[in-house]
Structure 1
Amino acid sequence: MLLIAAALLTASMHSFGVVEAPVVPAVQSVAVVHAVAEVPEGPSVPRPVMTGVHLAASVSVAGTTSASVSVAGTTSAPVSVAGTTSARVSGTSSMSAPGDVTADHGRAFLDDLSSLDRADLFRADRDRRVLATAEDDPPTAAEVAAWWSGLDDDEREALTSCAPSVIGNLDGVPYAERDRANRAVLARGLADAAAGAAVKAMLGQVRDALVHEVGAPDRSLITLDTRGSGRAAIAVGDLATAADVTVVVPGMFFTVTGQMADFTNTANDLYTEQATVAGLAAPGSGNGVAVVAWMGYRTPDLSNIMSLGLAKTGADRLARTVGGLRAVRAGDEPRVNIVAHSYGSTTALMALASGRMRADSLTVLGSPGSDVRSAADLAVGSGQVFVGDAHSDPVAGSGYFGTDPGAAGFGSTVLDLTGGVDAQDAGDVFRRPVGHNDYLKPGTASLHDVALIAVGRGDLVREQVRRGERGGEGMPQASPDMYLVRPQDLQPRD
């Protein structure tokens, strides 16, 4: 896997990995020892980033074609370096094969990253092992925030400009820096003649999603991962100052390539509705709202809809996203609201029951349920779990993945989405949402209720009068939703 390089051997490493160094006396130091597989150099093959481990070492380098590193301990293993150079490392960390070294994680990963010069940062940004650590197994947001605050302006500039794919996806880095980094990656990918058609289509959707009308709130690109089916997150409004931040989690069939622009426009609709009702927010809660169109996990298609594996991965990523917001806004945390649709509600419920994430409110729309049995099991404000079930939505209330969060006894508030006049909003009339994909459309009672909840005024929403258990007498019977499955959704994705 990783890593990342530094002092020893780097300065004298040339195009084919040949180490050329003068004889120097042995010194006591902390070294990062590099190991590189033999990879041919050329215009189409980027030079790999060195892998390495921190070792407290007594280092001796002799001659121009070989090097050895002695480390206190009893085990040793050779490390092959591309080219004609060979190196041997002996120490307390055993290696079973040449080039097999332990990857750094957590704060060590960050410290190694900031020790690189610009050339190595540039290579790190294109090394899939480095990206896998940054995007799949990153340091905690608190570690990242502390590390970033300890860097000087030149170090931050070098990291953002030379390793934008890494910096743009590290929760805990300020959002303005992540936006700048991810836009650079976006521009680079769109201009890359060697990029495949699938990647170009994905990036085209992200580019279109960032476009907004004059006078509309700014949009910032806070996540961009082009691997596989891709991940992206776009914030509408200012995450650095907003008093109320809402994260919208999508359900099945949503992809960056297929829906990122539409999904971001939906977030913009929610932003507009929240801004409209923001005057009703509780006194002393600050000003401003922001909404995140969070396509930060792979959603299922018909080939894997029966599995909860994607929801578990999504729950982990969602928890990191919210943790990043809290780390960046430490001392000035906003009210955090999660709005989750369909399979996204299963993901959000799992995240909020994991012990790794908390929210001020949770609103689930068209939920197929989860293994969470009670609102008391969720790290959510008291009385702040809301459930929306649209008319003729065959997924809502199904309990397909376990307990229905709108069931009697779960402890949630089931929203009355029948529409009509809202006396709290100067007699405005809201229509009834219909089907599985209508919840956040402008003019619906559900969009209005979600906005009220997100500014801390869930007390103003109307609760559905329940007649016994869900699905019993008086509950509308679900009919097939023709918009639930579309022809393009029948093709499995990678």
Structure 2
Amino acid sequence: MTGQTLVPEPPANSEQVRQATEALRHRADHYELTLQEALLTWNLVPQLYHAPEADVLHQSLTSTRPVGREIAAGLEAACRALEHYADDLDDLAYERALILNAQASGAPAPVWEDDAADRGAEMNGLARERWQDALRRDAAALAERYDEATERCARALRAIPDVSWTSLVAWASPEVTDAPASPTDTVGRAILDRLAAAPDAAGLLSRHPEWSVILGRTAPEEIARWWAGLDPRVAAAIVTALPTLIGNLDGVPIAERVDVNRGRARDHLRELRAERQALEALRAPRSRANALEVLDRRAERARLDREIAYFEDVVSGRKQLYAWDPEHGSLIEMAGDPSTARAALFVLPGTNANPDAFMSDRPVTDFAEWQVGSGGGSVVAFTVLTGPMPQLDDFVTAGPEWNRFAEQRGEEYARFLQGVDATHPELWTMSYEHSYGGGVGSEAEKHGGTVDARFLAASVGAIGPYEPHPGTQYFATQAIDDINRYYAGVGLGPLGFTVAPETIPGVQIVDSGLPWPNIPQLVDLGMTRDPGVLVGIVRDSVQHHTALMSGDESINGKVLNQVAQTLRRRGAEG
């Protein structure tokens, strides 16, 4: 009996199967990258080419995108099936080697001595037959397992669906459910897919800085779908390569963004500490003529200390950064846990808001943190600064009388709201908009950024014409002598806001609980026309205005509790 007649040969060579699989995967990757490159270039056509036939021309190639995905997915599935087949062949090769070794060792030596009745020879013959039967059974089992492995591979290959070619016609295939709704979304999705497949995503994005602009205009819902479809290993690689992009990309899940930005904060903290050490190493000026330099150094040292303390809190997890783009001047801090929350509060600060306001002794996040603390885990809150806001120290060119900031920040705020909704659609949402923030919230509605309720706290109102969103509940509050009342509803072109908050149809007026004007002061002003009295009246008006952002119950308790009750009640209702 020989190995050739007893032990079956493997149906394929595992190493050759792996080599073929590697070649197929290389071709598949090259195919997908080539297709994405072509589609990316093609998707820029609507921005460059305008003609009556432009839409039809653009759709003619764009509609091949889902087919390309199906082909790429099918090729990858085939590679996985062949890899599993090669693994099975390796496992069976060990069993085959055991059978061959047993056969090469030969039949067991005779152990029975022969006698006159030949009983020893008979027993030794039976032992050889049992050995041969065992070899035949093992060989037959091996052949059966070879057949099973081959059939498993064949089933996996047959299970790969055929390409739905009907999807080439205006997304007609029922299998295609995530077709981008606009050319911009199509371009954005193509860029994201290209970055996900690139071996050097950071280098690729640096060579195409315009891609960041396109991604900033891609619908957060589309980005959320893309992220949800990523292999975890691919997602981790993109985070490592592009932390700034992912940490600020609306549509990426909240937890991932906070984690990415914690890593970015850790790197920034090292830079801040090095900068602080370098400042300390400078020699102190000895001349009185350098007194201004001394003051500048003190101010810079104080700024660095505040920023270092803030980012230490971010790294430790005491503060959570949802977004942070220092080049654009944006910073969004989150308080609470979205995984347990049933309601989300978005706090929009107004005039003078900037990143430094998050790092002061009385941070702009106080209102949001109070709401989270009183919510018992049911509230997650975001203090939102999407970009530069008007500043009183530059009143003439960048003061709160200019409504352009509301238009610019409104579009960004809308994307922020859409991003949270794309990842946590179950949350009941309220936007608490203080002062100039009310103008931002009103503009956001025009860009599709809507919430379940808006709470306008000493708000500037809206740029007319304005129509409230039918699915939103509106609240408004301000002190009787709030400084905003002097110019509410006044505006012309780029100046002012023509719709006062308390005139919005359906708005519910909420008692602010703030002190009434000082009547004796008003009487004194009317009788004496003393400018000093006017200064005191204006000072009180400003204090009552800023009080509505306070997280101190002794100052702003009425509004704090009104918002908290609404969040708890509506969040519980779902």
Task: Give the equivalent residue in structure 1 for 2:380.
Answer: 290
Residues 271/373 of structure 1: CA separation in 2 closer, same or farther (3 Å cut): farther
Deviation readout 1:316-346 (Å, 9 max, x if unpaired): 111111111111124xx10010000111101
CA–CA distance in structure 2, aligned partners of residues 188 and 395 of structure 1: 42
Q: Determine which structure has the larger strand proportion and give its number.
A: 1
Matches within 5 A, 1:28-39: 31=34
Percent of pairs with identical residues: 23
CA–CA distance in structure 1, aligned partners of residues 275 and 452 of structure 2: 42
Would the aligned equivalents of 2:36 and 2:193 in 1 still touch at CA under 8 Å? no
Deviation readout 1:386-432 (Å, 9 max, x if unpaired): 1111243211472241111113x732111112369xxxxxxxxxxx9
CA–CA distance in structure 2, aligned partners of residues 225 and 204 of structure 1: 20
Task: Give the equivalent residue in structure 2 for 1:366.
Answer: 458
Does residue 219 in structure 1 map to residue 312 in structure 2? no
Residues 248/202 of structure 1: CA separation in 2 closer, same or farther (3 Å cut): farther
* Amino acid of the structure 1 residue aligned with 2:568: V
Task: Give the equivalent residue in structure 1 for 2:205.
Answer: 124
Residues 28/389 of structure 1: CA separation in 2 closer, same or farther (3 Å cut): closer
CA–CA distance in structure 1, aligned partners of residues 542 and 562 of structure 2: 12
Does residue 399 in structure 1 map to residue 495 in structure 2? no
* Amino acid of the structure 2 residue aligned with 1:223: A
Would the aligned equivalents of 2:269 and 2:311 in 1 still touch at CA under 8 Å? no
Matches within 5 A, 1:350-429: 350-352=443-445, 354=446, 356-372=448-464, 377-381=468-472, 384-396=473-485, 398-400=488-490, 401-407=497-503, 410-418=505-513
CA–CA distance in structure 1, aligned partners of residues 304 and 542 of structure 2: 32
Deviation readout 1:32-77 (Å, 9 max, x if unpaired): 899xxxxxxxxxxxxxxxxx8369xxxxxxxxxxxxxxxxxxxxxx
What secondary structure does 1:180 align onto?
Answer: helix
CA–CA distance in structure 2, aligned partners of residues 206 and 133 of structure 1: 31
Q: 1:304 aligns with which of 398, 407, 414?
A: 398
Q: What is the Cα deviation at residue 355 of structure 1?
A: 5.5
Deviation readout 1:7-39 (Å, 9 max, x if unpaired): xxxxxxxxxxxxxxxxxxxx98863899xxxxx
Cα RMSD over matched residues? 4.3
Task: Give the equivalent residue in structure 2 for 1:241.
Answer: 340
Residues 217/161 of structure 1: CA separation in 2 closer, same or farther (3 Å cut): closer
CA–CA distance in structure 2, aligned partners of residues 109 and 159 of structure 1: 13
TM-score (normalizing by structure 2): 0.51
Task: Give the equivalent residue in structure 1 for 2:187.
Answer: 105
CA–CA distance in structure 1, aligned partners of residues 320 and 565 of structure 2: 24
Residues 227/129 of structure 1: CA separation in 2 closer, same or farther (3 Å cut): farther
What secondary structure does 1:410 align onto?
Answer: coil
* Amino acid of the structure 2 residue aligned with 1:412: V
CA–CA distance in structure 1, aligned partners of residues 247 and 232 of structure 2: 17
CA–CA distance in structure 2, aligned partners of residues 244 and 455 of structure 1: 7
Unaligned runs of 5+ residues in structure 2 are: 1-29, 44-183, 280-298, 491-496, 516-540
CA–CA distance in structure 2, aligned partners of residues 173 and 200 of structure 1: 36
Q: What is the Cα deviation at residue 150 of structure 1?
A: 1.0
CA–CA distance in structure 1, aligned partners of residues 268 and 311 of structure 2: 15
Would the aligned equivalents of 1:236 and 1:291 in 2 still touch at CA under 8 Å? yes
CA–CA distance in structure 2, aligned partners of residues 437 and 343 of structure 1: 12
Would the aligned equivalents of 1:274 and 1:455 in 2 still touch at CA under 8 Å? no
Q: 1:319 aligns with which of 414, 434, 439?
A: 414
Larger radius of gyration: 2
Q: 1:267 aligns with which of 365, 368, 381?
A: 365
CA–CA distance in structure 1, aligned partners of residues 321 and 352 of structure 2: 21
Would the aligned equivalents of 1:362 and 1:386 in 2 still touch at CA under 8 Å? yes
What secondary structure does 1:377 align onto?
Answer: coil
* Amino acid of the structure 2 residue aligned with 1:107: R
* Amino acid of the structure 2 residue aligned with 1:288: S
What secondary structure does 2:546 align onto?
Answer: coil
Q: 2:248 aligns with which of 169, 176, 199?
A: 169
Alignment coverage as a number of residue pairs: 341
Residues 248/211 of structure 1: CA separation in 2 closer, same or farther (3 Å cut): farther
Q: 2:235 aligns with which of 135, 156, 163?
A: 156
Q: Determine which structure has the larger helix proportion and give its number.
A: 2
